[in-house]
Copies of this chain bind each other. A is one copy, B any other.
Amino acid sequence: MTAANLRARVRAEMTEEIKQVAQRHLATDGANLSLRAVARDLGMASSAVYRYFASRDELLTAMIIDAYEAVGAAAARADAAATVASSPAVAPVERWVAISHAVRDWAVANPHQWALIYGSPVPGYEAPQDTIESAIRVIMLLAGVLRDALAAGELPAVPGQPAGRFGEELAAVAAQFGLDTPAHLVGATMYGFVHLCGAISTELYGQLNNSIDEDRRGFFEWQMRATAAFAGLR
């Protein structure tokens, strides 16, 4: 190992350490992440952090990517577990529900990270291209459930596509991602994803207070089964 490689490794470790401390601050203090406070926790000058992240926004971007990775990984794990668990043929709706629960569980456990990726954008911050490939993992999992269900002949045939310009856009999305699913299934996927985001955000941001206070998990599952039914799963 050359010295340059060693230096790069030390640098990567330091970067990781900064991110970890920043994530701890994020989890406790919320989105108003203070670079100086992170530096203090690490026992170094605030200016030293700028050797690793050019700006606070860049640090936030790194945390956004990590958050997308984490929630996507949690959802993928749940999907895999649900798929395997049903050795003969699990109902696709159970995969749909398992993915949704995994996302919600992650969000409840990491509310500030959720807000970072699916909440209102940080002021003055614009998501760079780095994040988009991480951002679509959850929705691609949902799309996969419908694709498999369609292949297994478990979805009712719906001719045509939703009427309107957006129907063509849905068809274009299917083509773009190489999905051999009709446009209305792409729409149903996005419909489910939209509701997933809405259900979690309304719950986390207090819109359900004084209405559903006890069985939020049950209410959530009821909703997600409704979106699955809209897609044709049952």
Q: Which of A198, A206, A215 has the most CB of B within 10 A?
A: A198
Please, how many angstroms separate the alpha-carbon atoms of A58 and B117 in the complex? 27
A206 to chain B, nearest CB (A): 6
Main secondary structure of the interface of A (DSSP, over half): helix
- Is B191 a contact of A197 with CB atoms below 8 Å? no
For A127, list chain B residues within 8 Å (CB). 206
Number of A interface residues in the complex (CB < 8 A): 51
A31 to chain B, nearest CB (A): 5
A38 to chain B, nearest CB (A): 15
Q: Cβ of A83 < 8 Å from any Cβ of B?
A: no
Q: Cβ of A17 < 8 Å from any Cβ of B?
A: no
- Is B201 a contact of A197 with CB atoms below 8 Å? yes
| 18 A-B pairs (CB sep. < 8 Å) | A31-B123, A32-B123, A162-B222, A164-B222, A165-B218, A169-B211, A170-B212, A190-B208, A190-B219, A191-B223, A193-B202, A194-B199, A195-B198, A196-B198, A197-B202, A198-B202, A201-B201, A230-B230
A contacts, CB < 8 Å to B: 29-32, 115, 118-121, 123-124, 127, 132, 135, 162, 164-166, 169-170, 173, 187, 190-191, 193-199, 201-202, 205-216, 218-219, 222-223, 226, 230
User: Which 5 pairs show the lowest CB-CB distances between chains A and B?
Assistant: A198-B198, A119-B120, A115-B120, A165-B215, A166-B215
